[in-house]
Each structure stands twice: as C-alpha cells, then as structure tokens.
Structure 1
Amino acid sequence: MRYRLPPLNTLRIFEAVMRHGSIRQAAGELCLTPQAVSLQLKQLESHLDQQLFQRTARSLTPTAAATQFYKHVRDGLDRFADGVDAIQPAPAKQRLYLYVSPYFATEFLVPRLGRFTSSVPDIDVRMAIGVELDEFNHKGLEAAIHWSYGATPDFVETPLVDDLKVLVATPRLLERLPVQTPEDLLKHSVVVPLVANSLWEDTLKLLGVTQRASQPIMMLHTHAAMMEAVLADLGVGFISYADAVRGVDAGRLVAPFGMDLLKQLPAGRIPRFSLLVRPDRRHSPILMQFTRWLLDEVCTEGVAGYASKCRPDQYADA
C-alpha cells in the first residue's frame, strides 16, 4: 500500500508543539530554533491544505482540525516507538527515570529507595526533582510523582498518599498577634503553595469564617521555602504533616486549631501525591513493580502517620 503522508519530521514537530502548547518549548526539546519549527509547521499545513494553529504575537491556539489530527499523530508515533523497542535487544539494565516532587522525594522516597533497588538487580535509577510538569516532558523521564488535587490530563494516574497539611505558626508570631478565635486568622499574612490550591479558603470554611480580609498572601514554590517562611514569622502557613509534628514537638511551631483540622476535608479537597505515567508506558514491568512497592511499603498510614482518603483500599476492611 502506498501511503500519502506529509514528511515524517513535520509530524514529529507537530506532536511536540501540541504537547507543549508552545513553539519555543517544542524547539528546545527537539534542539531546533523556533524559526525552524514554525517553518516545518507551515510546510505541514501546506501539505494538508489545513490551518492547524491560530497565531498571534503572544499565543498559539490549535484549530479543531489540529486537535483531531493530534490524536492520530500521537498514536502513530507511539506505534513507531513500540516497533523500535520490539526489534532492539533488551538492555542489560532495567531503568527507572523519575521526576519527583521535592517534599515527596525527601520525606517518603529517598530514605526508603534502597529497599526497592535491592530487590531489582542492576537497576539504573535516575531522579530529577521539581514541581512543574513541563520539565517531565524532557526526553528520558518515564514517570512523575506530582503534587496536585488529581485528574491530571494525558497521564495514567495512581493516587499514592494525601499531603495532609497543618495550619501552623511560630510561638513568637502568635504572642505578637494571638489567634484566640478563627476570625483572628484574618489579621495574619498567609503562606500557601504557589501551585493552584484551595487550602486557605477550605480552612476558613471549616472554621466557619465567612468574613474576608485582604491580608497578604505569600505563595512559595516549594514546601521547604514555605517552612522557612513560617519559621521566619512571615505568616501562618500550611505545613505538611510530618514537618508540622516535628515542629510542634520541638516547640518551634504551634497548631492553633489542632493537627487534624484538615482531615475533615473530603477526598477531592485534600492535595495528594500521585504517580503519573504516560499511557504508552503504563504496562512497563518495572513501573508496575515500582508502583506496587510505593503503595505497599511507602505510601501507607504507618509511614505517613494518617490514613489517606485518596487510597480507598485502605478502608476495605473498615
């Protein structure tokens, strides 16, 4: 059968642009200039006799035709990749290339990772640390452990463990600005994650605070930065459970409304760590083994110190 196809390189470039939503980011991944990527896209549009993108000075918006075409191009490239893998000799080492949220890496994964690697001889483990999924798209990364509220498009998601937060402040800050009623929180600056979240709004709702104030909100990129900001008396803040327990036990932090306040939130309102795998890698034996190990030995109530509502299997015997 003779195939009437555009140049295959234009399809690879089109797939990268659609995945990133950006010519510049796609160019960086493919080691091309943005001008070269734009030229290849115009060549593809000419071959198809279809406009694939609405272009402005600041945006690139796929047309309906591009969205429909993308599904077929992505599936086709996945099939090409499967074919290449099928005829290549098996690698001498199994590999596990991960992109992991900083707090999960330090609190959950790295201290226990030796238990997994000791059970898999000759495994090659590489781990990048970060919070933005854009970096996960770099070639070679196979799975991500990501902080979110779930429902991350384009990935197969396995919920691992809730990131239960505790609202805390230093004794010095509370001596200067006491919190004796929930409404007193409105006098304080608030330290929250930079990524999209509803922690502050949900906490005020749990406490029955209907009044709103325009107090400063400090949004920081990592949990470590949030912890340092709270310890520096920059505001009340949302600290992950294990660090909050250690801080309260050491007398460095106070939880004015208790350690368990945010446990009252329903599952969909509690941020969590999830394992994200590309659909074409979902049946990878090493990733399946790693997932089971995370669920059975790392992301458990015994390790975290609380039961996770994102893990309904934990309640099967309740």
Structure 2
Amino acid sequence: MSHDAYGNALRLLTYVFAAMEHGSLRQAARELSVRESSVSRNVVKLEQLLEMQLFERDVRGVRLTEAGRAWTDVVRTHYDGLQEAFRDTRNNRDAKTLRIGLCAVAGGEFLKRLIDRFRKSCPDVSLAIEDITREQCLTAVRRRRFDIVFAPGIGTVTSCRAEMLWQERVFVLMPADHPLTEKRAVTWADLADMRLLVPVGSSGPLLDSHMLEGIFAQGCRPNVKACEAGQATVIFNVQLGQGVTLAGESFAQTVAIDATAWKPLGGHNSLCSIKALWLETNPKRAVLRLIGLARKMANRVPSAEHSQRVH
C-alpha cells in the first residue's frame, strides 16, 4: 500500500468507525454532517482497499462481520492515537482546561465534593462543565470533545476506560395527586403496570439493561414507554398525568416541579451506578488527578453513605 493510500485509509476510517458506533449509515452521516451516500461510498472504498467485507448490510442498518470486528479491534487504538497526534495546537491551547460532561447527572454530594477537592488540588486548571446526551457520550470522549464524562446506566464499554465511582438512589416523579405520594418510599412492585416514561431523545433512559432484568426477574413489569423527546417534555407529560418518570437523587433533591412529587425507590434495584468515562491516552495530568481523587473518595465512603440514604 502506497503512502497516499495509507493517508486515504486514515480518512476513510472516520466513516467506518462512525458507522460501527451507530449501526446505521444514516446516523453516521448525521454525526459527521455529510450525506448518507458519502458514508456508504467511503466505507465501500475502504473495504475495496482492504479486500475485506467489514459490514453486513440489511434494512435495519449495518453490523460488523466477524472479520471486520477483528480488524477494527486491532486498528482502534492506533487510530485514536493518530487522531490525537494530529490535533496540533488544540492540545496546547486546552492543556489547562479540563472539559467535563454530565449525562443525566445533576451534581450530587459526591460530585460536588470531588470538584471542590480538585479545585483546591489543581488551582491552575480551569473547569468547563456541560451537559451531554447519552448517545454522544462515547464519541465525545473518544474524540476528546470532553476529557471525562460522568453518566449513569452505561453498560460494557470497549472504546474508552469506564469505572463506577458512586451510586445514587433512584427517585420517581409522579403527579402530586397520585395515591403513591402518601408513601414514604415506593418499590418496583408499586409501579407494576404503570406507564414509565423514559426519554431517549436527549439524556436517554436512566435504566440500564442490568437493572431492567432485575426488575422483571422480581415479577414487576412497569409499562416502559420510550419517548422520543427531551427530559422537559417527559416531565410535562408527568404533570399531565400521563405516567411517571425516573431521575437520580442528585436531580430530584435539587429540582422541584409544580404539580408533581418525588418519591425514592426502595428495595432491590433502587440504586443507579454512576460511571466515569475517559481515554487512558489523554495526555492531561488533570484527568488522572481527578480520577485519583474520585477513587480515594469512593474507597473512603461507607457503602450506606456511598449509596446515598433515603430520607
């Protein structure tokens, strides 16, 4: 393969990894701000260059072939490293800024103490903290748009480092006149057959597959309705009496919503794990400093306090 072919292959990899992450050429095109035909054409170009079929294609989207998965697993680390190497001046410019993404996490006692300790430990590093949607988490970390992201309900991750740091009690938002508001805490059994509204268009569901499996194993089957809408629209539907929704304790304890009431979940599967996502190849020392402080705090907090008590 010639030098020009190597350079072209590196560019084509952008399309391949976008298609791989989204499982859809259309979604990959949206992520890259190009036409779907451009993604398809460039994926085919790389397959021809390699003389290897990377994807199987059908009406539902695309998925890696066995050979494609083996090849991309090997290439992934090298690709990420080269992408970082070619970000010329950006790293120098942002060396003293730590960009933190929050996905469906509203601070909370653990995170507030962590940020406070970090600021005292690294006073010369400025923090840029922003919200991020669930579907963007992994891509944003891998492409270094964020140095670290905190998110709940994230399953197995292979494209970056993921570590559970703390847990939050899950809270239920329900109409203020709902009979369950008289209870101190509710259980999944109380929510059986109720409509559970879950936003998937912005912050994504708080529930992960492990928690759902545990709920169903107990015989509790809430009517989970995925809403192609943001959190604000889902909350409005709760106010209208169309169902209930979920949030972590850090959000529930700080946000009061008219005509609704927050109630903590009790019993099994009532805690949501918050994970940190970051790249081990990130050269910023501040990232490792923040993770180190978080690990010390997590080890120091007794499990009952770490899980946040229900008041």
- TM-score of Structure 1 vs Structure 2, range by shorter chain: 0.5 to 0.7
Q: Distance in 2 between matches of 1:191 and 1:293?
A: 36
Q: 1:227 to 1:298 in 2, by over 3 A?
A: farther
Partner AA of 2:266 in structure 1: L
CA distance in 2, matches of 1:13, 1:72: 16
Query: Which deviates further from its counterpart, 71-80 or 139-148?
Result: 71-80
Any idea what SS the aligned residue of 1:306 has?
helix
Shift of 1:292: 2.6
1:144 is paired with a residue of what secondary structure? Answer: strand
- Within-5 A mapping of 1:5-154: 6-18=5-17, 19-20=20-21, 21-30=23-32, 32-81=34-83, 83-84=85-86, 90-91=92-93, 93-105=95-107, 109=111, 113=115, 116-117=118-119, 119-134=121-136, 136-138=138-140, 139=143, 140-148=145-153, 150-154=155-159
Question: Which deviates the most, 51-60 or 230-239?
Answer: 230-239
Could you list the runs of 5+ residues in structure 2 that have no partner in the other structure?
none
- Superposed CA offset, 1:182-233 (max 9, x none): 9765474445565254657746866xxx586xx7544467777666655655
**Shift, 1:276, TM fit:** 0.8
Q: 1:233 to 1:73 in 2, by over 3 A?
A: same
Question: Equivalences for 1:184-199 in 2 at 5 Å?
Answer: 185-186=191-192, 188-191=194-197, 195=205, 196-197=207-208
2: CA distance, partners of 1:92 / 1:235: 44
Based on CA coordinates, which of the two structures has the bigger radius of gyration? 1
Map 1:180-219 onto structure 2 (within 5 A).
Answer: 185-186=191-192, 188-191=194-197, 195=205, 196-197=207-208, 202=214, 210=219, 216-219=223-226
Change (3 A) 1:254 1:31: closer
| CA distance in 1 between partners of 2:73 and 2:115 (Å) | 36
Residue 104 of structure 1 aligns to a residue whose secondary structure is coil
Q: Is the 8 A contact 2:195 2:242 kept in 1?
A: yes
Q: What is the deviation of 1:147?
A: 1.1
* Secondary structure of the structure 1 residue equivalent to 2:305: coil
Residues 307, 14 of structure 1: alpha-carbon distance in 2 compared, 3 angstrom cutoff: same
Q: Distance in 2 between matches of 1:78 and 1:63?
A: 21
Q: Is the CA contact (8 Å cut-off) linking 2:150 and 2:274 kept in structure 1?
A: yes
Task: Kindly report which structure 2 residues correspond to 1:158-177, keeping only aligned pairs within 5 A, or say none.
Answer: 158-166=163-171, 169=174, 172-174=177-179
Number of aligned residues: 293
- Report if aligned partners of 1:160, 1:299 keep a CA contact under 8 Å in 2: no
- Matching residue of 2:249: 241
**What is residue 287 of structure 1 aligned with on the other side?**
287
Deviation string, structure 1 residues 224-261 (Cα, Å, up to 9, x no partner) = 7666655655445545335666899xxx7475xxx572
Report if the CA contact (8 A) 1:167-1:239 is conserved.
yes
Q: Aligned partners of 1:89 and 1:191: how far apart in 2?
A: 41
Contact 2:15 2:43 in 1 (8 A): no
Read off the aligned partner of 1:308 and give its amino acid letter.
S
Distance, in Å, in 2 between the alignment partners of 1:190 and 1:239 is 12
Using structure 2 for the length normalisation, give the TM-score. 0.67
The residue type paired with residue 281 of structure 2 is D
CA contact (8 A) 1:166 1:261 kept: no
Q: 1:54 to 1:191 in 2, by over 3 A?
A: closer
More strand by share: 2
Q: Output the CA distance in 2 between the equivalents of 1:3 and 1:85.
A: 24
Write the letter of the residue equivalent to 2:248. Answer: S
Conserved? CA contact 1:102–1:222, under 8 Å: no
The 3 A distance-change label for structure 1 pair 305 and 280 is same
- Matched residue, 1:276: 277
Cα shift at 1:126: 2.9
Report how far residue 157 of structure 1 moved: 1.1
Question: Measured at CA, do residues 68 and 12 of structure 1 come closer, stay the same or move farther in structure 2, by a change above 3 Å?
Answer: farther
In the alignment, the residues of structure 2 paired with residue 30 and residue 180 of structure 1 have an alpha-carbon distance, to the nearest angstrom, of 43
Q: Contact (CA 8 Å) 1:161, 1:299: kept in 2 or not?
A: no
1:147 and 1:180 mapped to 2: Cα distance?
Answer: 21
| Distance across 2 between alignment mates of 1:200 and 1:78 | 33
> What is the identity percentage for the equivalent residue pairs of Structure 1 and Structure 2?
18
Query: Any conservation in 1 of the 2:55–2:62 contact (CA below 8 Å)?
Result: yes
Whether contact under 8 Å (1:109, 1:298) holds in the other structure is no
